[in-house]
Amino acid sequence: MILIADGGSTKTHWCLVDKNSDLQEFKSEGYNPYFVNADYIQESLLKALPPTINPVLVEKIHFYGAGVHGKEKVMILQKAFQDIFINAEIFIEHDLLASCRALLGNQPGFAAILGTGTNTCLYNGSEIVHQVDSAAYILGDEGSGCYIGKKLLVNYLRGTLPPAVRENFERTYTYRHDDILNKIYTQPLANRFCASFSEFAFNNIDDKHIYNIVESSINDFFTQLVSLYPEYTSYKFNAVGSVAFYFSNILEGSAQKYNMKIGKIIQSPIYDLIDFHKRHMAQ
């Protein structure tokens, strides 16, 4: 049996695949090793683990997660999982590789994450071979939910939202000027806070002002990140993430401006990851 996980900073989607290809799913907290240690992960995961799953019988774990940068961070996850799944061979990989495998399988191409944050790369069918740094949410992450949310919040704070949109914003949220600045500059996880407002953008996308915010954000993504890849127009544009999925029409329009054809767009990689690993189990 193999256990596959698509992990973020807030939640992790797990799926156990047995020898008959039957699936058993469950969810836990997110385990970004920048924010939690091995003891915390163990305690949390044991609470989330369904009683129908015997950890002793798990043979392999493929964990794809946010914050998997460097040996030290990998070892936090490795230790936590090994103490629970004592017989398992454990593979810890970056969430960008999960996107590549879900979007492209074993075929080379271009892959992107467009969710809370942004990430992009070229993939050769087995590994990432070139990556332009997104520079994270303070410096970059163009096109992400956080980037869209920041643009929307700046418009609100400066009073440039159309009156009807502003009224809708204030009906939807209890946050006002000082609350927003406090959440961003004195509270943790400002990127998540900003990204949460991309839902408001989606729900109000018929307003021209909101549409322009989203369109300009995605255009910035192509200008500042995608177009930096050598011969980028020779690749199809493939992406995973909520922004890519929910704003797919705008994304397709921007891709056309940059002479890229749209390939595969999915909201979550987990089921395509399962298919990827099932194919490899059968080989």
Q: How confident is the model at residue 1 (pLDDT cuts 50, 70, 90)?
A: confident
pTM score, whole prediction? 0.87
Q: How far apart are CA 153 and CA 166, in angstroms?
A: 11
pLDDT for the residue numbered 191: 87
pLDDT in tens, 38-47: 999 999 999 9
Q: In this model, does residue 19 exceed pLDDT 80?
A: no
Report, as an integer, the average pLDDT of 21-26: 86
pLDDT for the residue numbered 189: 81
Q: In this model, does residue 9 exceed pLDDT 80?
A: no
pLDDT for the residue numbered 31: 86
Q: How many CB atoms lie within 10 A of CB 274?
A: 21
Report, as an integer, the average pLDDT of 48-65: 94
Residue type at 156 in one-letter notation: Y
CA angle 150, 154, 155 (to 5 degrees): 120
Domains of the chain: 2-95+270-282 (3.30.420.40), 139-215 (1.10.720.160)
97: helix, coil or strand?
helix
pLDDT in tens, 232-283: 999 999 999 999 999 999 999 999 999 999 999 999 899 999 999 877 765 5
